[in-house]
A and B are shown apart, each in its own frame.
Chain A
Amino acid sequence: MVTTNTEIAYNSKIEGEVIVSRMDSVINWIRTNSMWPMPMGLACCAIELMGTASSRFDIARFGAEVMRFSPRQSDCMIVAGTVTYKMASAVRRIYDQMAEPKWVIAMGACASSGGMYRSYATLQGVDRIVPVDVYISGCPPRPEALLDALMKLQAKVRLERSATNLRRA
Chain B
Amino acid sequence: MSATVDVLAVLKEKFPSATPRPSLDLPAVNLPVGDVPAALKFLRDEQGFDFLVDLTAIDWAEGVAPRFTVVYHLLSTVRHDYIRVATDCPSDESPAVASVVSLWAGANWHEREVYDMFGITFTGHPDLRRILMWDGYPYFPLRKEFPLAGIDTPLPDAEIMAETGARVIAAPMAGGPFVAAPGEINLTEAEPRAKDESWNERRAKPDA
Contact = CB atoms under 8 A, between A and B. Distances in A.
Interface of A: 85-86, 88-89, 92-93, 96, 109, 114-124, 128-130, 138-139
Given A118-B171, A118-B178, 17 more contacts: A85-B168, A89-B156, A89-B157, A92-B164, A93-B160, A116-B176, A116-B177, A116-B178, A119-B148, A119-B150, A120-B139, A120-B168, A121-B141, A124-B171, A129-B160, A129-B164, A129-B166
A124 B174 CA distance: 12
Main secondary structure, interface of B, reads loop
20 contacts: A85-B155, A85-B156, A86-B133, A88-B160, A89-B157, A92-B163, A96-B163, A116-B176, A116-B180, A116-B192, A117-B171, A118-B173, A119-B148, A120-B139, A120-B151, A121-B141, A121-B150, A123-B166, A128-B164, A129-B166
B137 to A, nearest CB: 9
B185 interface: no
B181 to A, nearest CB: 12
Nearest to A86: B134
B45 interface: no
A128 B166 contact: yes
A123 B153 CA distance: 12
B26 interface: no
A120 B171 CA distance: 7
Contacts of B132: 86, 121
B196 interface: no
A124 B164 contact: no
Contact of B179 (A85, A92, A114, A116): A116
